[in-house]
Amino acid sequence: MLIEGKNAVRQALDSEMTINKLMVDRNLEHRHDEIVTSAYKNKIRVEFLPKPVLDKKSQTGHHQGYIAEAVEFQYSELEDILTKAKESGQPPFVVLLDGIEDPHNFGAIIRSCECAGVHGIIIPKNRACQVNETVIRTSTGAISNMLIAKVTNLKEAIDYLKDNDVWVYVAETGGENIYSKKLNGAVAVVIGSEGNGVKQSIRSYCDGIITLPLKGKVNSLNASVACGIVIFEVLRQREL
């Protein structure tokens, strides 16, 4: 797996992610900057290569002179997410994604979740975007600090959360106004796919629906935007 771009590579080096090799544009003015220094400190092999070589290796076209070769992303277990919450001394705060397919949306969601203090993200194994190079790049390094669990069955994951006293809500139209709902306890939020929202089978399985009031003529938001607004409302309530 390749991680590209200055910020993404820096975050990866600062995380527990296993980096096999760092490739750097040999024409950069500061060849021994903090990123290269960090790589040497962590005993990571550094190669200084001509920019055309990096351009050829790049999968995004936006490497900014830095490409890290990393071990494939390591998914977490559901238990790890609740353990992280317990160790933080906070009630669990979890996001479940039901069929998000756009890697840019997924990466943006990861970034928002990390900023809002979400303890972990749960994604389905099938018919959904998995962690890939685009997701990592779009998260701008946030994925290095985010636990992501991949499950075969979202219903079973919801059962697990409920068994551990976590309330699970669907973020979608037709429910209770989010600003009237108490969300400062142990809570999980389900965000649906870009085109179809949360599946009915999942929606009916949750504890309720929370809805963002919309005042315009368009009746829906981009999945990553909606997720960001919802989780920061949860954070706001927790900070009161």
What does the block give as tokens for 67?
A: 């490409």
CATH number of 2-70: 3.30.1330.30
pLDDT single digits (tens) 124-166:
998 899 998 788 878 887 888 899 999 999 999 999 999 999 9
Mean pLDDT within 68-89: 92
CATH superfamily entry for domain 78-239: SPOUT methyltransferase, trefoil knot domain (3.40.1280.10)
Q: How confident is the model at residue 82 (pLDDT cuts 50, 70, 90)?
A: very high
Q: How confident is the model at residue 232 (pLDDT cuts 50, 70, 90)?
A: very high
Give the per-residue pLDDT at 73: 82
Domain definitions of the chain by residue range: 2-70, 78-239
SS3 23: strand
Q: Do the Cβ atoms of 207 and 167 come closer than 8 Å?
A: yes
Q: How confident is the model at residue 71 (pLDDT cuts 50, 70, 90)?
A: confident
pLDDT single digits (tens) 181-229:
999 999 999 999 878 889 999 998 999 999 999 988 887 889 999 999 9
CA distances from 156 to 104, 152, 196 (A): 27, 8, 21
Give the per-residue pLDDT at 225: 95
With 80 as the cut, is the pLDDT of residue 168 above it? yes
